Structure 1
């Protein structure tokens, strides 16, 4: 199984919502905390975005919480999980 992980900050309300959605679906994930400029540089290099959360499911970059929610509502998240 490919990794599920989130670049995150525990002070971010959208990160909290992403954790809740993933946990409610029983999707295990690891948190990669963005703490300093080096971490932000890594997020930018990998995703092209400068916000958290940045969510990866089965190695696929989903995006932020709004993207995760939309993928869940459309069924795309299930496709990624089963793919």
Structure 2
């Protein structure tokens, strides 16, 4: 059981790393932090298409990562 959880944790970790690296950056340097930061905080820019999928996949994989980690700690 522990071996299966370790393998599952590694696969989820690799998937989470991949999904996070595939996402585009939220800022465009210092100018993006000053001018574009307020727009992103207010939600004027909606994620569409691939960005929405990557965002949802990040949340799902992060939740799975925590659940599997807690289960692994319980069984060890």
Using the size of structure 2 for normalisation, the TM-score is: 0.29
- Name which structure has the greater RCO, CA cutoff 8 Å, separation 6+: 2
Q: 1 or 2, which has the higher strand percentage?
A: 1
